[in-house]
Structure 1
């Protein structure tokens, strides 16, 4: 039986942390549940999940639909799209059966690339390799979550680039339905012996919009500056967490005059702090962004998501972030050093090393 290989290439960078990643995780489960009810998909579809942050990793190898177990999606630092593309191409070479004069191989694989950010590594060589050796024998569907991905790079990879409006009503449920219907349509096509262009379901107005054009070149910057992300550790448990601030861009409305004044002068507003597992470090490339954000540019102080300590942005002399319950002597869970912590005071900002986003 000729297989229809489907690869989910999922961005699990810090910018995805929180609700977006949780909904994508549930969405993959829902897609599998829907496809198992379709006899054509059940007969042909084989799924693989690859995640990428600062590094790429296959979390579920190519598996027949009936046996597929949806994976947990961890978080890592960075958005190494170049490495991710290289990884998926290597996975296609390793697992997809090619047609030879003696046998018919698998149908052309489908790659759903789901990302919300700009690459933090160079994509040039990977894009060239894809276009030279894989574009003609694969289907790549690039989904820009929230419209925040690098559309210039995505359009160099494929004509099928869509913006997913994740703020639309019932957005993720409708998005999952669109992906499921697209896979079902392709399963029917290959079951009938047709393997031409990909049979994507019709895009929904207000939810999905095609990216028709993206001119110019996007320089590799190394940091996704739409967010300021910081990796902290709980003083008590020593477990890591990610603090995420987002550029408010004047979009936050408030009747609080103090907050309104802060938003005029500060660049980032707190989006939240989320506990992560130690696998965060395995998925990060280990490279220092080399950039910092001044504390005066941040609005909001997160509590520790592990122990609930009131201050999750305490900075040790070693440069790392951790939580403290209040002023006084505390021990840094990163370096083990002790020090006296207190408020810097108004107008006495200090630089904090940031993640790559």
Structure 2
């Protein structure tokens, strides 16, 4: 039986922290469980999972469906779409069997690429290489999660661009039911010696074909979310603070004046693995604290604030009453004062 290779390429950047990453993790788990109930999929489908943030790694190499082992999606700084495409191309070259005079190779691979924003790396060369060498060999379906996806970039890759307005469990599960049905439909086709690129009808309660031509300013940091990494002063464990863009004032439409700040969305514990998924050579943009709204307790020790900055420039938690504490980053003894104005702070790429 010829194989049907299916690749899932998933954006695991900082902007996915919190509910979005949980929803996508549950969605991937649902897809794999659902496909295993279909006899055609079990016979033909081989799956691979690739994650990308500031770096790209294959979490699951191309594997027979029944042998798939659940993988935990990571979190990292940066959205390196260009590197993800280059990595995907190498995986396809390495693992997809080509048809020769003596061997019937695999069916045309299907790729589902998830992203919630726009690239923070130099992606143009990778897109051109993909269009020249792989677009005719692979069915690529791009899933744009949320309302701030730059489809002007993604439409260069494929005509199959699908928009999902909300990144929560309900919408992502609706999307993943459609993906499961699509893969099953494709597996039935190849079992009958067909290989169609037609998409099955979309469930328009949760998704639509992307039509937006909206473009965004090119940047090496996501300007719709602001993230910071801190460490617990007592336990030294890392955490992430994620602020989302918030409209403070919408001016008259003919003046086109809008004022934004960033409002705290989540503060949650992360693992040390975050640092291995982050591009540490990227530019380090800054933001003034006057543009930030909200604070949180430390998710590890529940100290009063997770937003105390040491002289080394890194964030840590502070209980509000200790005269001196030791910075978990630089190990220096520091003291804090509630007085003082706004200051600039290094933020993540998003």
Residue 225 of structure 1 corresponds to 223
Map 1:286-325 to 2 at 5 A: 286-325=280-319
- The verdict on how the C-alpha distance between 1:280 and 1:316 changes in structure 2, with shifts beyond 3 A counting, is same
Instruction: After TM superposition, give the deviation of residue 288 of structure 1 in Å.
Output: 4.6
Counterpart Cα distance in 2 of 1:344 and 1:163: 46
Instruction: After TM superposition, give the deviation of residue 251 of structure 1 in Å.
Output: 9.0
Residue 67 of structure 2 corresponds to 67
Q: Conserved in 2, the CA contact under 8 Å of 1:7 and 1:112?
A: yes
Residue 207 of structure 1 corresponds to 206
Counterpart Cα distance in 2 of 1:168 and 1:268: 20
Residue 9 of structure 2 corresponds to 9
How many residues get paired? 342
- Whether 1:21 and 2:21 are equivalent positions in the alignment is yes
- Whether 1:342 and 2:305 are equivalent positions in the alignment is no
- The verdict on how the C-alpha distance between 1:173 and 1:290 changes in structure 2, with shifts beyond 3 A counting, is closer
Runs in 1 of length 4+ with deviation above 3 angstroms? 217-220
Counterpart Cα distance in 1 of 2:204 and 2:92: 33
Map 1:236-247 to 2 at 5 A: 236-247=234-245
Residue 249 of structure 1 corresponds to 247
Residue 259 of structure 1 corresponds to none
Per-residue CA deviation, residues 151-209 of structure 1 (Å, 9 max, x unaligned), is 11110000000101226882122111111011111111111111132x43311224111
Counterpart Cα distance in 2 of 1:94 and 1:51: 17
Q: Conserved in 2, the CA contact under 8 Å of 1:292 and 1:353?
A: yes
Counterpart Cα distance in 1 of 2:283 and 2:223: 11
Residue 254 of structure 2 corresponds to none
Q: TM-score, normalised by structure 1?
A: 0.91
Instruction: After TM superposition, give the deviation of residue 289 of structure 1 in Å.
Output: 3.3
- Whether 1:275 and 2:269 are equivalent positions in the alignment is yes
Instruction: After TM superposition, give the deviation of residue 127 of structure 1 in Å.
Output: 0.2
Counterpart Cα distance in 2 of 1:223 and 1:229: 10
Counterpart Cα distance in 2 of 1:69 and 1:344: 52
> SS of the counterpart of 1:170?
helix
Residue 258 of structure 1 corresponds to none
Q: Conserved in 1, the CA contact under 8 Å of 2:19 and 2:167?
A: no
Counterpart Cα distance in 2 of 1:219 and 1:10: 23
Map 1:78-157 to 2 at 5 A: 78-157=78-157
Q: Conserved in 2, the CA contact under 8 Å of 1:153 and 1:218?
A: no
Q: Conserved in 1, the CA contact under 8 Å of 2:249 and 2:259?
A: no
Residue 256 of structure 1 corresponds to none
Per-residue CA deviation, residues 285-331 of structure 1 (Å, 9 max, x unaligned), is 10353321111111101211112112111111111111111143111
Counterpart Cα distance in 2 of 1:192 and 1:265: 57
Counterpart Cα distance in 1 of 2:172 and 2:128: 32
Counterpart Cα distance in 2 of 1:49 and 1:146: 21
Q: Conserved in 2, the CA contact under 8 Å of 1:122 and 1:220?
A: no
Gaps in structure 1 of 5+ consecutive residues: 253-263
Q: Conserved in 1, the CA contact under 8 Å of 2:20 and 2:168?
A: no
- The verdict on how the C-alpha distance between 1:242 and 1:133 changes in structure 2, with shifts beyond 3 A counting, is same
Output the aligned Cα RMSD: 1.9
Gaps in structure 2 of 5+ consecutive residues: 251-257
- Whether 1:50 and 2:50 are equivalent positions in the alignment is yes
Q: TM-score, normalised by structure 2?
A: 0.93
Residue 326 of structure 2 corresponds to 331
Per-residue CA deviation, residues 123-171 of structure 1 (Å, 9 max, x unaligned), is 1111011000100010110010013222111100000001012268821
Bigger Cα displacement from structure 2, 284-293 vs 66-75: 284-293
> SS of the counterpart of 2:51?
strand
